[in-house]
Amino acid sequence: MRDGERSMGTVLSEIVGDLQGIVRAEVRLAREEIKEEVARAKRGTMFLAGGALVLVLSVGLILLALVYALATIWPAWAAALAVAGLAGVVGAALLSAGRKAFSAMALVPPRTASTVRENIQWAKSRTK
């Protein structure tokens, strides 16, 4: 063996060490991306909770107040149906906003997936 050449064991040891470092870096990146997604999930959760709260309060309070007001003009059943329909539309809009916030979340961390692909290519090129 010449002075500038490395043994097969040394090369394999370096590759394993490099792969361990890459895996550690990927785990750190995945953790950071998951933290970002959790922050986005909090926003969606707030919309959903707000929508649910408004629906409950609407059914309990607005129905009662508006049914009494409209019952002076319409039959009581028609007044109750109209008010319930309005409350349903408001609640559906809030729930839709919350669902939209959740659908914008990426389940697979995009940067981590990209760097994993790059690292696999790099490892393949080192072993050839």
Instruction: Give CA–CA dist 60/45, Å, rounded.
Output: 22
Determine the average pLDDT of the residues in 82-106.
85
Q: For residue range 5-43, list pLDDT tens digits in order.
A: 778 888 888 888 888 888 888 888 888 888 888 888 888
DSSP type of residue 14: H
- 108 φ/ψ sector (left φ>0, alpha ψ -120 to 50, else beta): beta
Annotated domain spans of the chain: 35-127
Q: What is the DSSP letter of 4?
A: T
Tokens of 101: 């916030």
pTM: 0.42
**DSSP assignment of 47-114:** HHHHHHHHHHHIIIIIHHHHHHHHTTTS-HHHHHHHHHHHHHHHHHHHHHHHHHHHHTS-SS-HHHHH
